[in-house]
Chain A
Amino acid sequence: MTPVLEARHIDKFFKKPVEFHVLKDISFQIPPGEFTSIMGKSGSGKSTLLYILSTMDTDYRGELLLKGESLSGKPPNRLSRIRNEHIGFVFQFHYLLGDFSVLDNVMLPARKLARKSEAEIRHDAHEKLKTLHIGHLADKKASRISGGEKQRVAIARALINDPAILMGDEPTGNLDSYNSENVFQIFRQLKEERGLSLLIVTHDEDFARRTDRILEMDDGRIVGGNP
C-alpha cells in the first residue's frame, strides 16, 4: 500500500548564525490510518522535520512524497494548493483568526479550495464542530472562546477539507490535562472511525505511549521506532 507520507534522505542545514546540520538523512514512511508521534528533546529537530513534512519549509535536501507524489521542487503556489487540499495542521498555540467567527475560521480553508458550494461548506463546518462537541460556539468570535475550545476549533478547521494526513506541532503542549486528554481522544477517534493518518510532535510521554508508533529523534536523527 502506498504510504500517505514518505521522507527519503532528508537533510537540512541552518545557515544562521553558524552553519548547523539540523536533520541528518531522515527517511521514514507513514502508512494510511496510522497514528504516529514524534518525540525528542528540544533542539533534536522534530519540529523542523514537521515543518518540512508540512511543505511550509522548502529549504532542504532529499525527497518528500505525499501519496506517492513527489513534492520536492514544486512551486510555492502548487504547494499551497496541496497543503490546502491534503494536509491538516494543528499548532501548539491555537492559531485562529481572531477577527472572524468560529464558523468562518473552520470554513476558510474549504472556501479557498472551492470544491464545494458555500452552503455545503457551511453544512460541513457545522458537522465538524458538532462531532467535536463545540457546535454551540459556531457564531462566537474566535478570540472570545477558551483555550481548549480554540484547539478543538483548530482541529475542526484542519479536518474541513478531509485531508490525507493531520499534522500537529505539540497540539496539547499548551493545554491542561483535561483538555489534553480530550484532544487525544479526538485524534484517536479520527483514526479509528475515519482511518485518518496522524503525525503529532509531542513532549508528552503519556500521550506518545498511547499512539501506534513513536519516532524518537535525537540530534537530527531518528533513533527509535523502526522508521
Chain B
Amino acid sequence: MKQWGLILGIARTHLHTKMKSTVTASLGVTFGIGAYITLVSFMTGLNGMLDSLVLNQTPHIHLYNELEPSDVQPIERSPAFSDDLLRIRSVRPKTGQLKIHNALPILDYLRHDPRVLGATPQLLANIFYLSGSLDLGGQLIGVDIMEEARLSNMADYIVEGSPEDLRNTENGILLGIGLAEKLSLAVGDRVQVATAEGGVFPLKIVGLYQSGLAEIDNARSFAQINTVQRILGKPQNYLTDINIKLHDIGLAVPMARELESQFRLRARDIQEANAQFETGTSIRNLITYAVSVTLLIVAGFGIYNILNMLIYEKMNDIAILKATGFSGNDVRDIFMSQAMLIGLMGGLLGLLIGLGLSHLIDSLPFDTEALPTISTFPVNHNPVYYLIGIAFALLSTFIAGYLPAMRARKIDPVRIIRGN
C-alpha cells in the first residue's frame, strides 16, 4: 500500500522551495522536447513533400513492354544439345512492339479488380518539338486526362489552363514549362511536333505543365491519347503503358508480380521505382532523432545534477523521514516523483513550444519555382510525435532521476544524525 498523495505532497513541497533549480531543470527538458517537436514536424513535413513530389507522379504499378533479350534461347530448348555446354555470344533483343497486346481488355479487367482504385492507359511517343530551325527531342504522352486528374494530383501541376481545356480541345497539348520557355511559346500558341518517321503536326497549346523536376519539364508534354495515336498513325488500341493506382499501396509488390506472370508484361511497382527516396527519408529521420536524443541526454544530465544537489541539501530531511518511519523505498519514490514532475512539467511546456514553433514555421512563406503547389514551409502536425515527445521526456527524466533516487534510498540516517 503506497501513499502516493503523501509522497507527491512532500515531493511538491521540495520542488516548490527550490523553485529556481526546478525551473532550470524543467527548462532543459522543455528545450529538448520543443526542439524535438519542431525538428520532427519540419523534417517529416519536408520528407512528405519530397516524397509526394516524386511518388505522386509515380503510379503504384506501371505495366509496360520491355524490350530485352530472351532469357531462353532456341538452342537451349533443343533436346539434342541438352548435355552440352552452350554459350551464345552477343545476344540481341528480339524485335517486338512496344505496344501492350490486348491493352483494352487488360484495362477493363484491371478496372473490375476490387484492389484497384483506377487504371489509366498511356501512350508514350518520342517526338521532336520544332521551332524554326531548332528541333528539341522529347516525349509526348497520350493520356486520359480526366482519369489522370482524378487518380493523381496532376491537376496541381498544370500551372496554366486546366484538364478540361485539354479534353475539350481537338489536337491540344499541355506543354512542359521548360519547353515553353525555350521555345518562347505561351498558351494559345501552336507548336509543331515531328515524329521519328517524319510527319509534322501542329498542336494547340491549351496549358502549361510544371512538375518541379527540370528534366521532365524540359522534355515532356501531354496530349489526349487519340491525338497521339493520330500523330503516330496507330489504331485506337495502340497503348504502350498502363498505370495502376491501388487502394492499398502495400499490395503493390505482390500484385505487380501477379500481373507480370498473368499478362507477360513488365510490371514495375512503386517501391522498386523509388527505393532511393525511402533511403533519403530514413536518413533524414535518423538525423532528426539523433539531434533530439542528444538534446534530451543533455537535459537528462541537467536533471541528474540538480537532483543530486537537491538530495545533498536534503540529507537532513531524508534522515528525519527515515527516522520517523519512512522506508528507503518511500524516500526513493519522493525523489523519483520529483524527477518525474520535472519531466512532466518540462515536457508539457516543450510540447507547447514545439506546437508554437512548428505553426510559426508552417506560416513562413516558402516560394520556389520547383514546387508550384507549395507556398509555405511544409510541416507535419502529426499528434503521434507529441505522444513520442512526452514519452521521451518522461523516460529521460526517469533515467536521470533513478541514480540519485537510489542513492537517497540507501542513505543511512544514523550517519547523518550522528554526523552533526
In this assembly, does B420 line the interface, its C-beta being within 8 Å of a C-beta of chain A?
Answer: yes
In this assembly, does A145 line the interface, its C-beta being within 8 Å of a C-beta of chain B?
Answer: no
A95-B3 in contact (CB<8A): no
Known interface pairs A57-B414, A80-B322; A99-B14 also in contact (CB < 8 Å): yes
List the A side residues contacting B1 at CB < 8 Å. 114
**Given the complex of chains A and B, what is the CA–CA distance between A96 and B322 in angstroms?**
12
Interface of B is mostly: helix
List the A side residues contacting B418 at CB < 8 Å. 47, 51
**Given the complex of chains A and B, what is the CA–CA distance between A114 and B3 in angstroms?**
8
**Given the complex of chains A and B, what is the CA–CA distance between A223 and B324 in angstroms?**
31
Q: Output the nearest chain A residue to B6 by Cβ-Cβ distance.
A: A111
**Given the complex of chains A and B, what is the CA–CA distance between A113 and B330 in angstroms?**
12
From B13, B323, B328, B417, A83 is in contact (CB under 8 Å) with: B323
Q: What number of A-B contacts does a CB cutoff of 8 Å give?
A: 74
Residue with the greatest number of chain A CB neighbours at <10 A, chosen from B1, B330, B418: B418
Q: How far is the CB of A143 from chain B (nearest CB, A)?
A: 10
In this assembly, does A37 line the interface, its C-beta being within 8 Å of a C-beta of chain B?
Answer: no
| 8 Å CB interface, A45-65 against B | 47, 51, 54, 56-57
Q: How many residues of B contact A (CB 8 A)?
A: 27
A109-B324 in contact (CB<8A): yes
Known interface pairs A81-B325, A95-B316, A114-B3; A169-B417 also in contact (CB < 8 Å): yes
Q: Output the nearest chain A residue to B15 by Cβ-Cβ distance.
A: A99
A95-B323 in contact (CB<8A): yes
Contacting chain B: which of A84-92, A176-184, A206-214? A84-92
In this assembly, does A100 line the interface, its C-beta being within 8 Å of a C-beta of chain B?
Answer: yes
Q: Output the nearest chain A residue to B317 by Cβ-Cβ distance.
A: A97
In this assembly, does B327 line the interface, its C-beta being within 8 Å of a C-beta of chain A?
Answer: yes
Q: Output the nearest chain A residue to B16 by Cβ-Cβ distance.
A: A99
List the B side residues contacting A95 at CB < 8 Å. 316, 319-320, 323, 417
Q: How many residues of A contact B (CB 8 A)?
A: 32
| 8 Å CB interface, B321-350 against A | 321-330
**Given the complex of chains A and B, what is the CA–CA distance between A104 and B1 in angstroms?**
21
Q: Output the nearest chain A residue to B7 by Cβ-Cβ distance.
A: A112
Q: How far is the CB of A151 from chain B (nearest CB, A)?
A: 14
In this assembly, does B17 line the interface, its C-beta being within 8 Å of a C-beta of chain A?
Answer: yes
List the B side residues contacting A108 at CB < 8 Å. 6, 10, 321, 324
B325-A85 in contact (CB<8A): yes
List the A side residues contacting B413 at CB < 8 Å. 56
Could you name 22 residue pairs across A and B whose Cβ atoms are closer than 8 Å? A51-B414, A54-B323, A56-B413, A56-B414, A57-B414, A76-B327, A80-B325, A80-B326, A84-B326, A85-B325, A96-B320, A97-B320, A97-B321, A98-B317, A99-B14, A99-B16, A108-B10, A109-B324, A111-B6, A112-B330, A114-B3, A157-B324
Q: Which 5 A-B pairs have the closest CB atoms?
A: A84-B325, A80-B327, A99-B17, A109-B324, A77-B327
Q: A residues near B, CB below 8 A?
A: 47, 51, 54, 56-57, 76-77, 80-81, 83-85, 89, 91-93, 95-100, 104, 108-109, 111-114, 157, 161, 169
Q: B residues near A, CB below 8 A?
A: 1, 3, 6, 10, 13-14, 16-17, 316-317, 319-330, 413-414, 417-418, 420
